[in-house]
Structure 1
């Protein structure tokens, strides 16, 4: 299944790497480095999935998820973060039904994103 993916991460290199990988996998991908631009994009594109960093300089990633969920309640999220709160079990899969997975940076396998997206496609 092809996904339309929003990436929200303040690190340009991570955005570029994820965009390149996910486009090569056949997905439509847009990357944003700040919450304001990502929020604006929600009205312009029919995203199925958002990959969100939690530690952002303007507004936290979880605050973005809260706001975005009011605009797009069907949107599902993959948390991709280096936040120690999450690395130490701050949120586990299943605690928030909007969150499909939590991946901790640095991630050794980009394939983990494909595996999660494939599982999400089968669940629809």
Structure 2
């Protein structure tokens, strides 16, 4: 049996966070959520995850710093960067971690299948 992926969604917009969580849970993923970077790091300290979908603009520590700090907690965690900025450029510290443009999703994601395709790419697994 295929392993059920554990996904952490980090977004300060409740509607985005909850709708994405509901969608992924309906597809059989185990989903955790956090509304800011600090809470995300707390979740990661307590629960092993496979993937984090992280908003760039967060209150407190931003998405980039959340990812950098998360790497110290769970070094093998994979990431999708979720941003509302059409001009977003991958921060040098994220590039150094191997994050590429294929791991960037721009809000709003009009076709939710795009999220599943990105998860497949990032995790190098079939999610069907």
TM-score surpassing 0.5? yes
Stretch of structure 1 that moved more, 29-38 or 7-16? 29-38
- 1:46-65 equivalence runs, <5 A: 46-65=48-67
Give the Å deviation of 1:121. 4.0
Assess if the C-alpha contact under 8 Å between 1:6 and 1:47 holds in 2: yes
> Is the aligned partner of 1:83 residue 2:85?
yes
2:98 maps to which residue?
Answer: 97
Deviation of 1:111 (Å): 1.0
Quote the RMSD (CA, aligned, Å): 2.1
Query: Against the structure 1 CA distance between its residues 65 and 48, is the aligned structure 2 distance closer, same or farther, given a 3 Å change threshold?
Result: same
* Cα deviation, residue 91, structure 1: 2.2
**Which segments of 5 or more consecutive residues in structure 2 lack a partner in the other structure?**
none
Normalized against structure 1, the TM-score is what?
Answer: 0.86
Count of residues paired in the alignment: 119
Distance 1:118 1:24 in 2: 16
- C-alpha distance in 2 between matches for 1:121 and 1:84: 26
Q: Structure 1: which 5+ runs fail to align?
A: none
For 1:98 and 1:43, the matched residues in 2 are separated by 22
Moved over 3 A (4+): none
| Higher RCO, Cα 8 Å, sep 6+ | 1
